[in-house]
Amino acid sequence: MKKAQSPVVIVDLRTWPWTGIGRVTRGIFQCARELEAEFEIQYVINDDTVVPDGLPNLVRFRSLPFGRGEQMEFRRLFARLGDRRMILHSLNFNVPLLLPKRVRQIAHFYDVLIDTGEFRTPLHRLAYNAYVWSLRRHRATILAQSDYTAQQIAKHHPFHEVIVCPHGYRNYMEPREADLKAAYGLERPYFLYIGLNKPRKNLDGLLAAYGRALQANPAIAYDLVVCGPIFDRTSMGFDIRAAVDADPLLAGRVHLLGFIPEEHLYAIYRQASLYVVPSHLESGYSYPALEALTTGTPVLLNKVDMYNYASESGGVFFFDGSRSTGSESLADVLAKMLACSNIDRIDPAQCDVLHRFSWERVRDTMKALYGRP
């Protein structure tokens, strides 16, 4: 039974379409649905949010996260709820800069971005610092996705309360096979990356490492396949299409596929020989790496922040992201993997990494936080 004076929980789902956080948003939504019998929960959505039709507890915003009009829409929502106590659960740190005293805040914090070089303009830095200031001022409870994230937060942005709450994982992929040769011209075995093109994602480092290995041995059996919104960040200094076009050695060996349809996602992962996360920073969590493991494809990760993926059952390899060159660097480990004639696949049912990321634990954390007096 809901208590008469219990707070209204507002869960902001507008990050639904985002590449990585979008998968997490779906999981948080499912956890919240399971808690509706105990709490009064409303969901903030926009036109990009895909939730079941007919839900009565939806609040429609026109704005995007961090978008124009967002602050005003939050103010109108709080005013409509009057004197009710509220809990605002934000899936990112795009939070109202000014909160009424009756609003308690829970926010997920993924990446401490001040050292990544992604905020190139004074306006970007000002906005980032404003959101961090707001979280501190309102004594928000911060959910950090890994021990690494919590350590970085403590170093750069000490907040009122930080709880380590690794995201869960739920496989949304349909196990469909596809003719990737016909669809994308993929004829050889390949290493795979799926994700964004931001400085911390290190796609320039991945391309350079692959190019050096190919130059040393043009007979390498593996191509490189890169998927996702990879053409959207050229203003940040790396135009991956131009880089591939400028190097004749990469012609026919590096495949820039961009977005791929959901019905091909399982096959793209499944037919890869290795999934690579070349990032300088992932803050200890990579949803695509978990998707790859689900299909039986081994993964290569940065041990600086992804050490919680270490596996006793095999199939998880590491490079040392603190080294730009030399032994154990991305270029060194990738070259060694490219020289392997065969890379053993894994059995997802026996993969201990997949069992660590439980939405049930996330739901229990949400329940405890929503139920605080």
Over residues 199-247, the pLDDT tens digits come to 889 999 999 999 999 999 999 999 999 998 888 765 566 899 999 999 9
Cα dihedral value 285, 191, 209, 354, nearest 10: 20
**Arithmetic mean of pLDDT over the chain:** 91
Q: Are 359 and 30 in contact (CB under 8 A)?
A: yes
Q: Is the pLDDT of residue 2 over 60?
A: no
3-state secondary structure 245-257: HCCHHHCCCEEEE
Over residues 255-278, the pLDDT tens digits come to 999 999 989 999 999 999 999 999
Q: Report strand pairing: 40-45 vs 8-12.
A: parallel
Length of the chain: 373
Give, in order, the Cα–Cα distances in Å from 172 to each of 14, 26, 175, 195.
19, 10, 9, 17
Over residues 127-153, the pLDDT tens digits come to 888 889 999 999 999 999 888 889 888
3-state secondary structure 186-218: CCCCEEEEECCCCHHHCHHHHHHHHHHHHHHCC
pTM as predicted:
0.86
**Residues 118-133: what's their mean pLDDT?**
81
